[in-house]
Amino acid sequence: MIGAHKRWPGWMAMAEPAANAQFMLTAFAFGALTYAFVSSDFSVALVVQNSHSLKPMIYKISGVWGNHEGSMLLWVLILTLFGAMAAWFGGNLPPTLRARVLAVQSAIAVAFFAFTIFTSNPFLRMSVPPFDGQDLNPLLQDPGLAFHPPFLYLGYVGLSMAFSFAVAALIEGRVDAAWGRWVRPWTLVAWVNLTIGIGLGSWWAYYELGWGGFWFWDPVENASFMPWLIAAALLHSSIVVEKRESLKSWTILLAIIAFGFSLIGTFIVRSGVITSVHAFANDPERGVFILMILGFFMGGALMLFAARAGAMEAKGVFSLVSRESALVFNNIILTVSCFVVFVGTIWPLVAEMLFDRKLSVGPPFFDMAFTPFMVVLGVILPLGAMMPWKRAEIARSFRPLVPALVLSLAIGALAFAMQTGRSALGPIGMFLGTWLVFGAMVDVWSRTGRGALAGRFGRLTRLPRADWGKAIAHAGFGITVLGVSGLTAWQQEDIRVVQFNQPFEIAGFTLTLTDVQRVEGPNFASTMGTVDLAKDGRAIATLNPEKRFYPVAQMPTTEAAIDIGFWRDVYVVIGDPQNNGGWAVRTYYKPLANWIWGGSILMALGGMFSLSDRRFRVAAGAAKRTPAGGVPAE
């Protein structure tokens, strides 16, 4: 298996086949590990620790990356996949730039190969193969989580392409519109995957953890959220590079930082340093290795940046009120908010090391310190998106948005009137979300120019897909804002001991526990309740909340039962039987819950739309001969 990790020497002419070979060999190694899992080969230590012969097939496969070593292999697999893709689609790049991109990319790969082999070899053998495995952690045996890591890694690792392009451009000493156009699709791919990955993780947390939380500001979550924020900033600033040839050195810096945050995220997650300084000191091998990788690539890239950034003079001239400025503002908000998350994440560590204080930084801090930035971003976004390049007038860009503003103010006021004595969060969120969604609609509509309605509708279908992508992603952001604020502000909760066939009410719904049974699953035993859900005497659904017990891993899990609706979820969890009869039951009414993930899907979809825009297909060389007449409207 060691042979699989060997890398061809990367001199220039060899770069392309080398990248391909690197990918093939890694894929072979990954395939071998997957085979070991699928066939339950218990002579491999990793399979013993994370698999079991009775486990359903899908979780045998997802077990490959449900652990440190296997996920590192997935990480390098994706890393080399991106390298190989750059080689396949890079026919359009200047040869020196392409060779340099590939060289940087494989340098990163080599570092991570070394990490994998020396500190986390997935192929270690057992001297005495046991009869059966220890099973994958049952909480990981879930379809939502089976696909969460691959998406997340595609995102994390995809940012390495932006990094490689940035470093290659610094070596080359040239950053122009073409560079902006090449680097943007890669960033988009990474960002779309990060969005999906984070969304999947959050959705999974919502239905699996038993109280319907969707975001916890845990260091691990922050580790994926920080690159997402920076990637979003990078997407926007590279537009300026592409269209206006300004903000070049800033964009390069962002590309470097974006990958830096992926590496920092890896460091946080793999080293255990955030949990406790002592845990880190006890097992420093992996942490120190990643820190060295981080130091080498970030230090190198930033030194290169310091030396070369001055050589990139900006071109375009633009006024203080213009789309360029709006995008600069977007970048400021996104990076500063990322900085807040970063400071909050590492503060316990800083406080312990410098001030000898053991303290916690939890969700209340992040909610207070982070949310205002998103509010400001949301207020400015629709206006900024309407501004023309170079020189804009606020009044003129604002005029088409007046109906959207009035409507969203009305909805905010309505929300305020309907709730009694609660925080201002709900109404503000409703206003912001509606403003974003309708702002995006106005944005698309205004692109159709002037003239008769029919003509404008016709033009709507022929707009560049990038315009649609922008509007869809912005509207998705708005919908997520609606979901988060609706759920946070108006959720209702009920905890009680429930006797059989004695109905109880929450938020106008009537629930009745009719039965509790023991059910056997393939590799678990379940205690399953049956709850009838009704509203106004009309039956809506029968819910089956479960408590499962996985005997091999000796672990219980909770499976909430959720009646999913467009406007609300009703969420039921069953607890323990009580001494005096009856069962503990927890019920939640969760308004707009699904909008959170609906919005994330829209954001990802918007990104994909942009990605499929003709300009990128041409620029990436993937489709060299699009038929004259342009984009087929789909």
Name residues contacting another protein, limited to 308-337 (CB under 8 A): 313-320, 324-325, 328-329, 332, 335-337
Which 145-164 residues touch another protein, going by CB under 8 A? 145, 148-149
Minimum CB–partner distance for residue 407 and another protein (Å): 30
Under rule CB under 8 A, residue 357 binds another protein: yes
In DSSP terms, 513 is beta-bridged to 531
Q: Which is nearer to another protein, 65 or 609 (CB)?
A: 65
Which 290-309 residues touch another protein, going by CB under 8 A? none
Q: Identify the CA nearest to 588 among candidates 617, 615, 562, 619.
A: 562
Q: Which is nearer to another protein, 35 or 211 (CB)?
A: 211
Minimum CB–partner distance for residue 469 and another protein (Å): 20
Q: Which is nearer to another protein, 20 or 276 (CB)?
A: 276
- Give residue 480's identity as a one-letter amino acid code: T
Contact between residue 51 and residue 38 where contact means Cβ atoms under 8 Å apart: no
Q: Identify the CA nearest to 386 among candidates 453, 446, 320, 318.
A: 446
In 3-state terms, what secondary structure has residue 574? strand
Under rule CB under 8 A, residue 504 binds another protein: no
Q: Which is nearer to another protein, 378 or 412 (CB)?
A: 378
Minimum CB–partner distance for residue 448 and another protein (Å): 24
Under rule CB under 8 A, residue 170 binds another protein: no
Q: How far apart are CA 479 and CA 482, in angstroms?
A: 5
Under rule CB under 8 A, residue 353 binds another protein: no
Contacts of residue 591, defined as CB under 8 A and 6 or more positions apart, other chains included, come to 486, 487, 490, 491, 567, 568
Q: How far apart are CA 110 and CA 104, in angstroms?
A: 10
Q: Which is nearer to another protein, 180 or 412 (CB)?
A: 180
Q: Which of 89, 123, 347, 500 binds another protein (CB under 8 A)?
A: 347
Q: How many residues bind another protein (CB under 8 A)?
A: 100
Among 107-115, 302-310, 455-463, 495-503, the segment contacting another protein (CB under 8 A): 495-503
Among 37-45, 142-150, 290-298, 449-457, the segment contacting another protein (CB under 8 A): 142-150
Q: How far apart are CA 398 and CA 286, in angstroms?
A: 53
Under rule CB under 8 A, residue 573 binds another protein: yes
Contact between residue 389 and residue 324 where contact means Cβ atoms under 8 Å apart: yes
Under rule CB under 8 A, residue 219 binds another protein: yes
Minimum CB–partner distance for residue 625 and another protein (Å): 7
In 3-state terms, what secondary structure has residue 506? strand
Under rule CB under 8 A, residue 58 binds another protein: no
Q: Which of 22, 26, 51, 67 binds another protein (CB under 8 A)?
A: 67
Contact between residue 621 and residue 181 where contact means Cβ atoms under 8 Å apart: no
* φ, ψ for residue 97, nearest 5 deg: -60, -45
Assigned token pair, 443: 């944005």
Under rule CB under 8 A, residue 363 binds another protein: yes
- Residue spans of beta strands (DSSP E) within 503-537: 504-506, 509-520, 525-535
Q: Which of 31, 130, 364, 503 binds another protein (CB under 8 A)?
A: 364
Q: Which is nearer to another protein, 198 or 437 (CB)?
A: 198
Under rule CB under 8 A, residue 488 binds another protein: no
Q: Which is nearer to another protein, 78 or 475 (CB)?
A: 78
Would you tell me how many other CB atoms lie within 10 Å of the CB of residue 2?
9
Q: How far apart are CA 331 and CA 310, in angstroms?
A: 21
Under rule CB under 8 A, residue 578 binds another protein: yes
Contact between residue 464 and residue 613 where contact means Cβ atoms under 8 Å apart: yes
Q: Which is nearer to another protein, 106 or 195 (CB)?
A: 195
Among 2-10, 455-463, 560-568, 576-584, the segment contacting another protein (CB under 8 A): 576-584
Count Cβ atoms within 10 A of the Cβ of residue 481 and give its class: 0-12 exposed, 13-18 middle, 19 or more buried.
Answer: buried
Q: Which of 125, 358, 396, 459 binds another protein (CB under 8 A)?
A: 358
Q: Which of 12, 117, 269, 441 binds another protein (CB under 8 A)?
A: 269
Under rule CB under 8 A, residue 143 binds another protein: no
Contacts of residue 632, defined as CB under 8 A and 6 or more positions apart, other chains included, come to none
Assigned token pair, 3: 């042979």
Contact between residue 181 and residue 89 where contact means Cβ atoms under 8 Å apart: no
Q: How far apart are CA 405 and CA 200, in angstroms?
A: 32
Which 586-625 residues touch another protein, going by CB under 8 A? 586, 618-619, 624-625
Q: How far apart are CA 381 and CA 216, in angstroms?
A: 26
Q: How far apart are CA 36 and CA 76, in angstroms?
A: 18
Q: How far apart are CA 154 and CA 79, in angstroms?
A: 8
Contact string 177-216 vs another protein (x = CB under 8 A):
xx----------------------x--xx--xxxx-x--x
Q: Which of 12, 139, 534, 631 binds another protein (CB under 8 A)?
A: 139
* φ, ψ for residue 623, nearest 5 deg: -125, 95
Minimum CB–partner distance for residue 539 and another protein (Å): 26
Among 361-369, 436-444, 446-454, 508-516, the segment contacting another protein (CB under 8 A): 361-369
Under rule CB under 8 A, residue 351 binds another protein: yes
Q: Which is nearer to another protein, 407 or 622 (CB)?
A: 622
- Give residue 344's identity as a one-letter amino acid code: G
Contact between residue 157 and residue 80 where contact means Cβ atoms under 8 Å apart: no
Under rule CB under 8 A, residue 458 binds another protein: no
Contacts of residue 546, defined as CB under 8 A and 6 or more positions apart, other chains included, come to 519, 526, 527, 528, 529, 558, 559, 561, 574
Contact string 68-97 vs another protein (x = CB under 8 A):
xxxxx-------------------x-x---
Under rule CB under 8 A, residue 355 binds another protein: yes
Q: Which of 102, 263, 361, 602 binds another protein (CB under 8 A)?
A: 361
Q: Which of 302, 497, 507, 534 binds another protein (CB under 8 A)?
A: 497
Minimum CB–partner distance for residue 145 and another protein (Å): 6
Q: Identify the CA nearest to 264 among candidates 362, 166, 359, 349.
A: 349
Minimum CB–partner distance for residue 410 and another protein (Å): 31
